[in-house]
Structure 1
Amino acid sequence: MGRSKVIKVNLMAWIFLLPSLIFLIMFTLYPVISTLISSFYKSDLSTIEPLFVGFENYRSMMEDEVFRKAFINNIWFAIGTVPTSVLIGLLLAILVNRTFIGKSLSRVFFFYPVVIPMVAASFIWLFFYTPDYGMVNSILKLFGFGELNFLGNSDTALLSIIIMVVWKEAGFFMIFYLAALQNIPKDLLEAARIDGASKWRQFRSIVFPLLMPTTLFSAIIATTNAFKTVDQLVVMTQGGPNNASNLLLYYIYENTFRFMDYGKAATVTVIVLIIMVLIAAIQFFATDKKIHYS
């Protein structure tokens, strides 16, 4: 291939990539760089013009009890939602991958929560958790238990949000696992069955290793979702009571739109981005050697 032809091919490739590159710069790179720069400035209602303060925003953030509470809550929220939603998604996929009457209806039923907007789902679960006439408390009363204020109690508010998010996300991961299960070669399972392998041995030695790419993808997506939760908090708890359900993205939302402290909001945003990148990198490199791509 001549030099001119190589240049022409490369030029055409860049021309085709240019629209995507422009959008990447406009909506990803520029906001990230702008947020990073803003985190070094004090920009709130007490300052007419943004004032450069260096790492002061980071220092004050580490001393903020509300930030520490939101950070710890977010860790527990991720621990509660990520493995649970991924595991339930896997179990649902195994269930609906079988042949039985009503299989298609079951798939729709399990996936339906995914298509419900988060705000609408939050209002549904807000009704479930209502102390006086909510469905959960009605069931508890039916069995002789006392009434509970799930969202108004510091001990149960975060757990209540976790349950709702798992219900919302499990069907999403079910779809990915279902597609992965249907791509597993049937002859491998048939050979294992002929060799006398039990169903559990087939799953442990053949199915699950081949599902590792899907598991890694699902874990990264679930972790990312865990650190960008805000809609349900706005509707259900506003981070309360006493910041018991406050999470990092809601903390950013409050500082941006309620307190107008843009410098602090940018600082927390940078921290959240770093956390998400580190977690994704750890998940990827820790499981890369255990993944079978073919």
Structure 2
Amino acid sequence: MTDAFRIATRRRAIHGWLLLSPALVMLSTFAFYPSVATLWASFFSRETRRRPSEFIGLNNYRFLFEDPTFWKVAGNNLLYAGVTIPISIALALVMALWANSKIPGKSFLRTAYFTPTVLPMIAAGNLWLFFYTPDIGVLDQLFGLVGLGSMNWLGRPETSLWAICIVTIWKESGFFMIFYLAALQTIPPELKEAADIEGASRWTYTRRIVLPLLMPTTLFILVNALINSVKLIDHLFILTKGGPSDSSKLILYYIWELSFAFFDSPMAAATTVLVLAVLGIVAALQFGLLDRRTHYQ
């Protein structure tokens, strides 16, 4: 191996690390270090004025698994994710297919679909609070026209979480639609022409050609929807604050409550570690099981 080859190899390695360094610094500062620090903090006890924090190993995780509120919140989040993720993705796909078709007023339709996405979370929460308010809310006014009584949508354990799910679906469907709309516009028009020549119906073309080609986008949206399902907190502050009786409390609100309402940062750290572990496992399964069926050459 000549000296010139060694120098060229070293230069390429240096150039590669220089290109990677901005991303590496950002990830280390805002992802890797906070994750490691959170994991380390979960092994210590809660610090008070009279008793300093002590290393207690996995006791925080044991206390967490013995807490019925944690399991209640975990069940709420599973139901919330199981409802909002598939409905939001399906609705986004339908809206994208419609907005991509040759119809009059297509630009207005796209704008109307995307408008909820650009609204701030707090503004969206206050808007839906106007819908859900008993007696004077829009929903009660509409139901009153058909003879139905008033309903406290956010104040009943049976309906509070479902009301939050509706807000999330309304807020996220337009955001996911943008990705589907961009993917639809990359599909070659020759495929539609070939399908028309073969006499394929619109449904057959959509099912056999469009949906398989949209699978990479669907996987991307699915991962984002999964992450979004565990980071909802803004709407809960405005609409329910996790009540009544923890019926609408989700995991991120529970972590915030542990850390800033009960000042139990180690328990909040333990809960965060569990959430990160579950998200990592689910994302790995999604990519491992679906990646081979997603990309088409």
Scaled by the length of structure 1, what TM-score is found?
0.97
Q: 1:45–1:261: 8 Å Cα contact kept in structure 2? A: no
Among 75, 80, 102, the alignment partner of 1:77 is 80
Do residues 235 (structure 1) and 233 (structure 2) align?
Answer: no
Do residues 283 (structure 1) and 286 (structure 2) align?
Answer: yes
Query: Offset at 1:45?
Result: 3.8
Q: Give the equivalent residue in structure 1 for 2:117.
A: 114
The one-letter amino acid of 2:23's match is S
Among 170, 174, 183, the alignment partner of 1:167 is 170
The one-letter amino acid of 1:170's match is S
1:1-294 alignment, distance < 5 Å: 2-45=5-48, 48-294=51-297
- Stretches of 4+ moved more than 4 A in 1? none
C-alpha distance in 1 between matches for 2:17 and 2:262 = 44
Compared with structure 1, are the counterparts of its residues 73 and 51 closer, same or farther at alpha carbon in structure 2 (3 Å cutoff)? same
Query: Offset at 1:77?
Result: 0.3
Any unmatched runs of 5+ in structure 2? none
Q: 1:256–1:265: 8 Å Cα contact kept in structure 2? A: yes
The one-letter amino acid of 1:214's match is T
The one-letter amino acid of 1:182's match is Q
C-alpha distance in 2 between matches for 1:48 and 1:166 = 46
C-alpha distance in 2 between matches for 1:238 and 1:45 = 27
The one-letter amino acid of 2:156's match is N
Mean Cα deviation higher: 169-178 or 46-55:
46-55
The one-letter amino acid of 2:234's match is D
1:214-256 superposed Cα distances (whole Å, 9 cap, x missing partner): 1111111001100111111111111100000011111100001
The one-letter amino acid of 2:205's match is Q
Query: Offset at 1:49?
Result: 2.4
Q: 1:129–1:150: 8 Å Cα contact kept in structure 2? A: yes
Query: Offset at 1:6?
Result: 1.5
Q: 1:45–1:260: 8 Å Cα contact kept in structure 2? A: no
Query: Offset at 1:195?
Result: 0.8
C-alpha distance in 2 between matches for 1:96 and 1:79 = 26
C-alpha distance in 1 between matches for 2:150 and 2:47 = 43
Query: Offset at 1:293?
Result: 4.2
Query: Offset at 1:46?
Result: 6.7
Any unmatched runs of 5+ in structure 1? none
Query: Offset at 1:194?
Result: 0.7
Question: How many equivalent pairs are there?
Answer: 294
Mean Cα deviation higher: 232-241 or 282-291:
282-291
C-alpha distance in 1 between matches for 2:36 and 2:277 = 13
